[in-house]
């Protein structure tokens, strides 16, 4: 039985037993194979838009003896799925804007899924804003650090609405509630990026007073959130 990296194990841990999933951008089909080998998923779809990675996925599935349980498909995003074909989807390891495009391009399939697990490589705040606007609830979130990089993972589902403040789009509402041990590191990254913008504006102050004042206020608020996290540790 194959071993998964910590990032992939964390993604897999959010899949409920008995679920059927479509792994979008499957690459080598590591997640579908592991989920089926572990008996978590009775059936899975391994989908990729590129022929090369899909060929690798087919080889991996065949070597695992799972051709009857994992269907490999050449498709763009969710377009290779029928509505209701699987109960969930995994869309991981790509930019947040690309994930938004995938979800936006197949609304019928998207809305038929009981859950979707997302792991954006970038633009996490924009992705959270999009899914909440589409009526999804962020049920669970996890932070994972692997090879020096911090990854954000979220599980979304339909049926419950919430309104998030702008700063919660950055941290993630469930990450904030749990005060994940890696949350301080995430907040420090937000502070670092906003500080760089602030310093750049201070060097070219013409017409930027209102913006610099707003950024200074935001930085103070982020430092306060960082302090709140230290109290919860």
Residue 29's CATH number: 3.40.50.150
Q: Is residue 159 part of a domain?
A: yes
Average pLDDT, the chain: 94
User: Which H or E run includes 128?
Assistant: helix 124-133
Residues 98 and 209 in one domain: no
What is d(CA 9, CA 171) in angstroms, rounded to the nearest whole number?
22
Q: Which residue has the higher pLDDT, 197 or 106?
A: 106
pTM of the model: 0.94
pLDDT tens across 111-129, in order? 999 999 999 999 999 999 9
- In the DSSP assignment, the letter for residue 195 is H
What is d(CA 25, CA 74) in angstroms, rounded to the nearest whole number?
10
Q: Is residue 177 part of a domain?
A: no
Q: What are phi and psi of 141, to 5 degrees?
A: -140, 150
Q: Which residue has the higher pLDDT, 73 or 211?
A: 73
Residues 219 and 187 in one domain: yes
What is d(CA 36, CA 31) in angstroms, rounded to the nearest whole number?
9
Q: What is the model's pLDDT at position 206?
A: 60
Three-state DSSP class for 181?
coil
Residues 136 and 22 in one domain: yes
β-partners of residue 118 are 91, 154
What is d(CA 93, CA 7) in angstroms, rounded to the nearest whole number?
10
Residues 138 and 98 in one domain: yes
What is d(CA 81, CA 78) in angstroms, rounded to the nearest whole number?
6
Residues 106 and 192 in one domain: no
Whether the CB-CB separation of 72 and 61 falls below 8 Å is answered with: yes
Residues 34 and 135 in one domain: yes
Residues 45 and 127 in one domain: yes
Residue with tokens 């990089």: 149
- Domain region containing 52: 6-163
Number of domains in the chain: 2
Q: Is residue 175 part of a domain?
A: no
Q: How many residues does the chain have?
A: 233
Q: Is the pLDDT at 205 greater than 70, yes or no? A: no
Long-range contacts of 198-204 (CB under 8 A, 24+ apart): none
Q: Is residue 116 part of a domain?
A: yes
Q: How far is CA 19 from the centre of its chain?
A: 18
CA separation, residue 85 to residues 15, 79, 162, 226 (Å):
16, 12, 28, 43
Residues 26 and 103 in one domain: yes
Q: Is residue 15 part of a domain?
A: yes
Q: Is the pLDDT at 232 greater than 70, yes or no? A: no
What is d(CA 5, CA 11) in angstroms, rounded to the nearest whole number?
10
Q: Is residue 150 part of a domain?
A: yes
pLDDT tens across 160-170, in order? 888 999 999 99
Q: Is the pLDDT at 233 greater than 60, yes or no? A: no
Q: Is the pLDDT at 207 greater than 80, yes or no? A: no
Q: Is residue 108 part of a domain?
A: yes
């Amino acid at each position: 039985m194959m071993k998964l990296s910590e990032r992939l194990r964390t993604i897999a841990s959010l899949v409920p037993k008995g679920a059927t999933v479509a792994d979008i951008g499957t690459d080598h089909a590591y997640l579908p194979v592991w989920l089926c080998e572990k008996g978590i998923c009775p059936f899975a779809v391994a989908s990729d838009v590129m022929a090369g990675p899909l060929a690798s996925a087919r080889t991996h599935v065949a070597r695992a003896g799972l051709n009857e349980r994992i269907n490999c498909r050449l498709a763009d995003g969710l377009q290779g799925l029928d509505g209701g074909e699987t109960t969930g989807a995994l869309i991981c390891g790509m930019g947040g804007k690309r994930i938004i495009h995938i979800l936006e391009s197949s609304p019928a399939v998207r809305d038929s899924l009981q859950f979707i697990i997302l792991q954006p490589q970038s633009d996490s705040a924009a992705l959270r804003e999009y899914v909440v606007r589409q009526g999804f609830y962020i049920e669970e979130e996890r932070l994972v650090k692997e090879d020096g990089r911090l990854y954000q993972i979220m599980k979304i589902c339909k049926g419950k609405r919430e309104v998030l403040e702008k700063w919660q789009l950055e941290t993630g509402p469930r990450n904030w509630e749990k005060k994940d041990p890696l949350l301080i590191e995430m907040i420090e990254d937000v502070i670092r990026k906003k500080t760089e913008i602030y310093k750049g504006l201070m060097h070219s102050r013409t017409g930027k007073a209102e913006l610099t004042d707003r950024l200074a206020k935001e930085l103070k608020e982020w430092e306060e959130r960082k302090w709140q996290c230290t109290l919860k540790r």
